[in-house]
Structure 1
Amino acid sequence: MLLTEILKFALRYWFVVIPAVITGWLLKNKYNRGLNKYPGHWLAAYTDWWRFWDVWHRKTEKTHLKLHRELGDVIRLGPNTLSFADPKAIKVIYGLNKGFTKSEFYPVQQAVSKGQRLPSLFSTTDEDYHSKYRRCVNNAFAMSSLVSFEPLVNKTINVFLDQTGKIFASTGKSCNFNQWLQFFAFDVIGDLTWSRRIGFVEQNEDVDGIVKFIGDFLSYAAPVGQMPLLDLVFKKNPIFMLSQKWGLNNTIFPATRFALARSAERAGEMDKVRETGLPPPSSKGTTDNPGGIDLLTRFTQAQHAHPEFMTDREVLTACVSMVFAGSETTAISLSTVFYMLVTHPRVYQKLMEEIENAVRDGGIEPRETGTVSWGESQKLPYLDAVIQECFRVHPAAGLIVERVVPKQGIEICGRFVPGGTIVGCNAWVLHRRPEIFGEDVDVFRPERWLEADAAKLRDMKATMFQFGAGARTCIGKNISLLEIYKLVPSFLRRFEISLVDPTKPWRLHNAWFVRQLDFNVRFTARRVQATV
């Protein structure tokens, strides 16, 4: 009876009730968990729609940096979201055994197959599942595994260098370098994962629309991830999921389709690995496979060792994750390195002198291909300084890396934050802390990494956030470093790079990862032996 009377009243006085409900909801958001004491854009206190629209405009890294510089180390990004700029927050938010979990931003990025989500190491919010999953595949990504990965990376580097000469340098055609580097990164992942390149570099095209799909997917996931409920309406609604499960909708992610096809091609081989495991390592520390042990084999070996957890779904998810996360971020970092070199001639010349001196002095073997090994690249201090500075000025991720405060609440940088609050740091903000990196934080200057004393260098490295931090640090970090440290000097030995139009800077597109657009260059072939 009471409910009926309330309903009648609401219908009769709807013009009063609706504004009252909206006002109450907005006030509840503003004073939620006492977060009203933190400054931010005035709309952020009332609704997550502010976050959504800011991310939709693709310049969020600039928004966050501007707000922190104007308002301080803690700013409010939404009714339940805080961003921290103090590097001391890293150890608390992302440290081991602190009780933080990933937010609902991440499941938005889960692939779907046959109506089932494919939670990956990156996208799962279940810490126990993540811990078991990571334990199974950790060895595949250890630094010691670089020995077996290098031959696989070498194959793609050689093809990439040859194709660069054939398609661009010998013809004088301009190159959309950010896309060309993305093609390289995708093909490396193909070789590393399945011992088979996807075909981007050979064909100089987006094979099966995979690059476009991932770009569009991230452009969707970044803003929708600010309001994850929208994903349950747009992409993962019950009707879509059931239609896939029942076979009425055969839509499948292109990356997932490619992974399924490659796995099917090697089903017999993987059945054997799943049953008996890999043969024992040789005296050199690897199996007798001169081409290297690819990740599909390693993931299947993990299935042999941990059959109680690693199912075919986990193996597929791990392979698909390599395509999603293992290519985009590496391509962004490579583009940054080459762009900073061509726009900073002094740095370009200094790095070339270091490389040429290393060849002349025997630090780099004078191979006909011009390639540089991982071990050789680690003996080039200025190369390391350039790459570290590029990681600093243009980290791949351009949003806060979200975590949920444990239910009991926790103190972060002297401030008690209630349980359930979403908190995080943005690498673009952390990497521009003057007290850590110097007053010239907005300047690209690799020398800062060589001039710093031991204590300063330790603080700088502890603040670097391009691969995340803690237990959820990017598991593919070592693979990415292998690609970057090998390709940069190898490419510079083979080609000179110049901008098509030095007056036209590239454009940035922040869709979770800050991709570069319109990085148009020309290449001139160099005589490799001339450096000896």
Structure 2
Amino acid sequence: MLLNEVLPVLAQYWPLVLASVTIGWLLNNKFSRGLNKYPGHWLAGYTDWWRFWDVWGRNHQWTVIDLHREHGDIVRLGPNVLSFADPRAIKVIYGLNKGMIKSDFYPVQNAVSKGRRLQSLFSTVDENYHAKYRRCVNSAFAMSSLVNYEPLVSSTMSVFLDKTQELYANTGDSCNFSQWLQYFAFDVIGDLTWSKRLGFVEENRDVDGIVAFLQKFLSYAGPIGQMPILDLFLEKNPLRLFAQRIGLSNTVFPVTLFAQSRSNERAGQIHKIKSYGLQEEQGSTRGVDLLSKFAQAAFDHPEFMDDTRILTSCTSMVFAGSETTAISLSSVFYFIVRHPQVYAKLMQELDDAVANGVVEARSDKTVSWSESQKLPYLDAVIQESFRLHPAPGLNLERIVPPQGMDVLGTFVPGGTIIGCNAWVLHRRPEVFGADVDVFRPERWIEAKPEQLRVMKATMFQFGAGARTCIGKNVSLLEVYKLVPSFLRRFEIELEHPGAEWKTHNAWFVRQTDFNTRFRPRVESL
């Protein structure tokens, strides 16, 4: 009877009711969690839609930098989201045994196969699952494994340098350098994962449209990850996934199909490794690839490392192994060419290293990993490039345990999403100097040992703690080999001197309009 009385009133005054409910919801967001004491954009406390639209604008890293510079070390980015800028927060938020787990931002990035999510090391929020998974594949990514992978990287690098000569240096044609470097990174991933280049460099094209797909998917994942519930209505819609599981829909995640197709070509060999282990004779002077090591992990840990997780591991290499490395390479070359004094100083170091025998005078002018580690100014240039343009452009989110926790003297309630942004951390004046917005590699050489230790501890481009990017060493191998090898082989100049590139923060901050020309270089010995 009461319902009969209420419904007509609601029907008559529904606009007022709707407005009242909306205002109540907004005020609840703003004040109920106790986070209203933290400053930020005026809309951030009321709704995550502000964060969604700001990330959709593709320049969120600058928004967060500006907010922290205006409001201080703790900024509110959403009704339940805080951003921390003090580098000391890294150990608290991302340290071991802190009880922090990843937020729902990460499962948005799950690949899908036959209607089921593929939980990768990166995207899983289950810490026990992550620990088991990482134990299986950790040795494949250890620094000691680089000796196995360097021949594979060298193989692709030689082709890349020769094709650069053929397509650009000999012709004088303009090169979309960011895209060209991404083709290199993809072919390296092919060689590292399947012992097979995928044809990006040799054919100078986006094979199977996979680069375009990844860029589109990351552009989706960035903003959608700010309101993960939207993913359940879109890409990960339960009805859509169910239809795939029962065969009503044949939609396949392109990256999954890409990885599956390459792995199927080695099915017989992989089955043998899973059954009997990786035999020494299967190795070669080219090194043992990652697919073989993932299969070895299945042999060592059959209770966990099944075919789905082998596929997931390969898919993760495609997802993360190309985009971030290409961004890092583009950053290094861009900052070099934009700063002639740095360019000249680096070339002098390379020439001196060859003259002194530190770098072998190979006919193809390539530089080995061990040689690159003896070039201090090269290291400074790469570190400074990582500092000014880290690949991740959004906060690496973690959820505070239910009991809450103290973060640098501030109690944060349980369930709050907190995190740090590499772009913010890398511009801390007390760590890197007053000129934090300036590209100055010398800061890495001039710093005293203790200050250098703090600088390196603040670098966040690969994350921190137990969830540090597992492919970090592979990415560094590519960067430290290609940069000096390319510079010894070619002179680089911008197609339009003085022109600046554009950036697109699609979770990873990729670059566009980085157009260059190359000329063969003659060393001045």
TM-score band, normalised by the shorter chain?
over 0.9
Structure 1 segment 15-30 matched on structure 2, within 5 A? 15-30=15-30
Q: Does the aligned pair in 2 maintain the 1:182–1:327 contact within 8 Å?
A: yes
**Structure 1 match to 2:357:** 362
Secondary structure of 1:402's partner? strand
CA distance in 2, matches of 1:5, 1:458: 71
Over residues 460-503 of structure 1, what are the superposed CA-to-partner deviations in whole Å (9 max), with x where a residue is unaligned? 01111010000000000000000000000000010000000013
1:269 correspondence with 2:264: no
Q: Tell me, yes or no, if the aligned pair for 1:359 and 1:531 is still in contact at 8 Å.
A: no
8 Å CA contact 1:32–1:80 kept in 2: the answer is no
Give the match's secondary structure for 2:345.
helix
Aligned to 1:435, the other structure's residue is in SS state helix
Classify the secondary structure of the residue corresponding to 2:70: helix
**What's the CA shift for 1:180?**
0.3
Give the match for residue 461 of structure 1. Answer: 456
Q: Deviations along 1:130-183, whole A, 9 cap, x unmatched?
A: 110001000000000000000000000000000000000101100000000000
Tell me if the contact between 2:338 and 2:498 (Cα under 8 Å) persists in the aligned partners: no
State the SS of the aligned residue for 1:515: strand
- Paired with 1:498 and 1:259, the residues of 2 have a C-alpha distance of 36
Match of residue 53 from structure 1: 53
Query: 1:360, 1:531 within 8 Å by CA — same for their partners in 2?
Result: no
C-alpha distance in 1 between matches for 2:370 and 2:419: 35
Cα distance between partner residues in 1 of 2:2 and 2:101: 42
Residue 11 of structure 2 aligns with which residue? 11
Q: Select 2:433's aligned residue among 418, 438, 443.
A: 438
What residue identity is the alignment partner of 2:277? Answer: G
Identify the residue that residue 169 of structure 1 maps to in structure 2: 169
What per-residue deviation string (whole Å, max 9, x for no partner) do you get for residues 175-223 of structure 1? 0000000000011001000001111000101011000000000000000
Which residue is equivalent to 2:383? 388
Q: Following the alignment from structure 2 to structure 1, what is the Cα–Cα distance between the partners of residues 4 and 89?
A: 51
- Deviation of 1:255 (Å): 2.1
Mapping of residues 69-108 of structure 1, within 5 Å: 69-108=69-108
CA displacement 1:45-96 (0-9 Å, x = unmatched): 1000000000000000100000000011000000000000001110010000
Preserved CA contact (<8 Å) 1:32 1:79: no
Q: 1:301 aligns with which of 296, 300, 308?
A: 296
Partner of 2:423: 428
- 501-510 or 207-216: bigger deviation: 501-510
Residue 292 of structure 1 aligns to a residue whose secondary structure is: coil
Task: Please name the residue that 1:44 is paired with.
Answer: 44
**Whole-Å separation in 2 of the counterparts to 1:503 and 1:365:** 35
Q: Name the TM-score, length of structure 2 as normaliser.
A: 0.98
Cα 1:316–1:288 change in 2 (3 A) is closer
Q: Which amino acid aligns with 2:140?
A: A
Residue of structure 2 aligned with 1:521, choices 513, 516, 520: 516
Q: Which amino acid aligns with 1:85?
A: A
Aligned-partner Cα distance in 1 for 2:524–2:138:
40
**Residue 263 of structure 1: SS of its match in structure 2?**
helix
Structure-1 residue corresponding to 2:443: 448
Provide the rounded CA distance (Å) in 2 between the counterparts of 1:414 and 1:11.
51
CA contact (8 A) 2:120 2:316 kept: yes
- Alpha-carbon shift at residue 433 of structure 1 (Å): 0.4
| Count of residue pairs brought into register by the alignment | 525
The AA in structure 1 aligned to 2:374 is K
| Structure 2 unpaired stretches of 5+ | none
Tell me the equivalent position of 2:31.
31
- Structure 1 position 244, deviation (Å): 1.4
Is 2:299 the partner of 1:333? no
Q: 1:513 and 1:243 mapped to 2: Cα distance?
A: 31
Query: Is the CA contact (8 Å cut-off) linking 2:111 and 2:255 kept in structure 1?
Result: no
**Where does residue 179 of structure 1 map in the other structure?**
179
Aligned residue in 1 for 2:318: 323
Q: How far apart, CA to CA, are the structure 1 residues paired with 2:338 and 2:17?
A: 59
Kept after mapping to 1: 8 A contact 2:324/2:391: yes
* Percent sequence identity over aligned pairs: 68
Give, in whole Å, the separation in 2 of the partners of 1:32 and 1:89: 25
Deviation at 1:5, TM superposition (A): 4.4
CA-to-partner distance for each residue in 1:427-452, whole Å, 9 max, x for gaps?
00000000000000010000000000
Deviations 1:393-442 (A, max 9, x none): 00000011000000000011111000000000000000000000000001
- CA RMSD, 1 decimal: 1.2
Corresponding position of 2:219? 219
Tell me which residue corresponds to 1:418. 413
Aligned amino acid, residue 268 of structure 2: G
1:263 is aligned with what amino acid? S
- Rounded to whole Å, the distance in 1 between the matches of 2:500 and 2:449 is 36
User: Would you say the 8 A contact 2:152–2:191 is kept in 1?
Assistant: yes
Partner of 1:68: 68
Q: Which residue of structure 2 lines up, in the alignment, with residue 486 of structure 1? A: 481
Q: Tell me the SS of whatever aligns to 1:82.
A: strand
SS state at 1:43 partner: coil
Distance 2:133 2:450 in 1: 36
Shift of 1:6: 4.0
Q: Is the Cα–Cα contact under 8 Å of residues 255 and 315 in structure 2 kept in the other structure?
A: yes
Q: Which whole-Å CA distance do the structure 2 matches of 1:193 and 1:127 have between them? A: 25
**Contact 1:181–1:335 (CA under 8 A) maintained in structure 2:** yes
2:309 to 311, 314, 319: 314
**Where does residue 472 of structure 2 map in the other structure?**
477
In structure 1, distance between residues paired with 2:469 and 2:3: 52
Does the 8 A contact of 2:100 with 2:399 survive in 1? yes
**CA distance, structure 1, for counterparts of residue 320 and residue 284 of structure 2:** 27
- Secondary structure at 2:322's aligned position in 1? helix
Unaligned runs of 5+ in 1: none
The amino acid across from 2:448 in the alignment is D
Matched position secondary structure for 1:44: coil
Q: Secondary structure, in 3 states, of the residue corresponding to 1:33?
A: coil
Deviation of 1:531 after TM superposition, in Å, equals 5.2
Any conservation in 1 of the 2:488–2:521 contact (CA below 8 Å)? yes
Cα displacement string for residues 99-155 of structure 1 (whole angstroms, at most 9, x for unaligned residues): 000000001111111000001000011111111000100000000000000000000
Tell me if 1:346 matches 2:341.
yes
- The 5 A counterparts of 1:235-314 are 235-279=235-279, 288-314=283-309
